[in-house]
Amino acid sequence: MVHEGETLNRKVSEDTLASSVYHADMRRIDTIEPFRVMQLLERAKELESEGKKIIHMEIGEPDFPTPASVLDAARNLLDGDQFYTASTGAPALQQAMAHWYQQEYGVAVAAERILITPGSSGAFNMLYAVLLNAGESVLLPDPGYPCQRNFVRLAGGEPINIPVDPSTAYHLSADLVDRYWQPHTRVAVVINPSNPTGTLMPRQALQDIAERCKLKGGYLISDEIYHGLTYGERPACALEVSDDAIVVNSFSKRWAMTGWRVGWTIVPDQLIDPCRRVMQNIFIAAPTLSQMAAIEALKETESVERMRLAYDERRRFLLSELPKLGFEVVVEPQGAFYIYAGVSQLTDDSRTFCWRMLEEAGVAITPGEDFGMFQANQHVRFSYAASLHDIRLGVDRVRAFLSHDNRE
């Protein structure tokens, strides 16, 4: 049953991503792919150092500063205790988060189930260390957040990249879980809202997938890092539909705190102790100052709302302009700060297209290959974590680039 996807994955891998194909004689490190967008960013920085103005629509990092109230709190905290907290997190933050879950989603979560990690990346690495034995697999959406595949490989697991398309709003579904789940599969991951597509998963679909994972004796991990950055409907937290789901989230995006390295995971009771043991060993604890500042962040609503409204304005601008330029947006993104656009009317090679756009137009966008293999050459991702002024300029430059291209 897995064969169609596997064949597809393997074929595209062989064509475009030789390094991601796992051969028995390979060292594990040889299966770890670079985060390609960083290469584009490095070149963009080089061009900037030559005095060129580059429009950055490649990076998935808020362009806003951390809210002032959080910065103020951190300054005051500098005089306080800077020792390790408990491995699972500062109890005061765990309590504050439990309260926040009640307010935000109406779900009651015991504070000890909320484990504080160095960013959500720390949570994923820890979880895969807990959940996977060598060779066990994890179902991932393709396109999806690129580091996921590598987190799984680092734990000795096998990422199964499942092609997703507009028919499921670019998300895994219960049917896809049924089709791809194998005896050695342990986990399915949903990213809701999605990176790179910004699309939301309907509540019922989330519930169906959670039930399917439970039925199969595995786990659903719900990556909710873009919750709070949505522009219409509010996505459901996986804990609203299933108490057995594992939630992963972070202060990075919603609170513009990427560099503070503080995130969290909420796990079922039976995983608390295994997680604690791994956390004690691999990172001892998340940064103390950041954890304390995060308590302040949870109280911050005004500046978070201001950022959300600004993202929404940029989103609407791009959604109206991109189709006029020949980009195709099949499912309207309602969250995160990304638009995943089809480029088949413009090129059949999105990698070259993006590199040319950077070199010739000074606009950085990310090629589809960063997010997987499925129809990667026909897509690019625009990030609108850039000012509206820059985005307008970027659109003008793309228009000029494309009309020049057409004349040639």
Ligand X SMILES: Cc1ncc(COP(=O)(O)O)c(C=O)c1O
Applying CB under 6 A, the residues found at the interface with ligand X are 60, 119-121, 145, 191, 195, 223, 225, 250, 252, 258, 263
Contact 209, 239 (CB under 8 A): no
Handedness of CA 160, 163, 168, 171 (dihedral sign): positive
Nearer to ligand X, 44 or 126 (CB): 126
Q: Which residue has the tokens 């792919």?
A: 33
Nearer to ligand X, 55 or 225 (CB): 225
Question: Least CB distance from residue 283 to ligand X, whole Å?
Answer: 12
Q: Least distance to ligand X from the beta carbon of 121, Å?
A: 3
Polymer length of the chain: 408
Query: Among residues 62 and 342, whose Cβ is nearest to ligand X?
Result: 62
CB closer to ligand X, 226 vs 374? 226
CB of 1 to ligand X, least distance (A): 27
Residue 94 backbone dihedrals phi, psi, to 5 degrees: -60, -40
**59 vs 310, beta carbon nearer ligand X:** 59
Give the residue nearest to ligand X (CB): 119
Closest CA to 327 of 257, 382, 268, 255: 382
Question: How far apart, in Å, are the Cα atoms of 59 and each of 166, 168, 272?
Answer: 23, 25, 34
Question: In the complex, what is the shortest distance from the CB of residue 192 to ligand X, in angstroms, rounded to a whole number?
Answer: 9
**Cα 404 to Cα 117, 228, 267, distances in angstroms:** 48, 40, 53
Bridge partners of 136, per DSSP, are none
Quote the DSSP letter at residue 145: -
Angle at 32 between CA 28 and CA 35, to 5 degrees: 170
Tokens of 163: 């092609």
Q: Please give the DSSP secondary-structure letter assigned to residue 129.
A: H
Beta carbon of residue 118, minimum distance to ligand X (angstroms, whole number): 8
Q: How far is the CB of 184 from ligand X (least distance, A)?
A: 24
Pick 386 or 398: Cβ nearer ligand X: 386
Chain centroid to CA 120: 9
Closer residue to ligand X in complex, CB, 335/342: 335
Closer CB to ligand X, residue 114 or residue 225? 225
d(C-alpha 168, C-alpha 291), whole Å: 36
Q: How far is the CB of 115 from ligand X (least distance, A)?
A: 14
- Cα–Cα distance, 45 to 32 (Å, whole number): 24
C-alpha angle with apex 388: 386 to 390, nearest 5 degrees?
65
Smallest separation (angstroms) from ligand X to the CB of 144: 8
The pair of structure tokens assigned to 252 is 């990075």
